Amino acid sequence: MQVNQVTVDLVRRVVKKKGSILLPAHGKSMFPFIRQGDICHFDACDPKTYKRGDIVLFTVGTNRLIAHRFMKRIHKDNQTYYLFKGDTNLLFDEPITQEQILGKMTAIERKKKKVDLKNIRNNLWSLLIINLPMMSKLLRKFIYRKGDFQY
């Protein structure tokens, strides 16, 4: 989601003070798991506890908020970096540091109903996306064919 530095700072302060934040979903990088208009719940959480497949809110630069799947930690030059990937993205996002992480997704509200992130269907989806990279390519083709995806 394109925002400005004031918005990024506000989101960071709200999560720090309240422990959580609700944000509307924007974009197609996590489709169909997260859809346009969903309300995403993010809680403050220690990045050291992230498991592969968790969806995490982070900032890139001064004007982008992104929620993608946690893939792995890498250690380089005495620094820990975190790698994330959107479900429909073919490549990992640029590595980020702990300072860029804002929170972990704990719930999705879709059409005024909560989506259970821990149900078998959502867990299976996460496993497919993580372990079968071709799924992302197929999703992109499906969305692009439908005319819903903007490159």
Say whether 16 sits in a helix, a strand or coil.
Answer: helix
In 1-151, beta strands by DSSP E: 20-24, 39-43, 55-60, 64-76, 79-85, 101-110, 113-115
The range of the structural domain enclosing residue 61 comes to: 5-146
Q: What is the pLDDT of residue 149?
A: 47
Q: Say if 126 falls within a structural domain.
A: yes
Q: Say if 140 falls within a structural domain.
A: yes
pLDDT, tens only, 75-120:
999 999 999 999 988 889 999 999 999 999 999 999 888 887 878 8
pLDDT, tens only, 133-148:
777 778 777 776 655 5
**At residue 62, does pLDDT exceed 70?**
no
The structural domain count of the chain equals 1
Q: What is the pLDDT of residue 133?
A: 76
Of the two residues 145 and 18, the one the predictor is more confident about is 18
Q: What is the pLDDT of residue 147?
A: 55
**At residue 28, does pLDDT exceed 90?**
no
Q: Say if 13 falls within a structural domain.
A: yes
At 84, the amino acid letter reads F
CATH code where residue 109 lies: 2.10.109.10
| Percent above pLDDT 70 for the chain | 93
Q: Say if 151 falls within a structural domain.
A: no
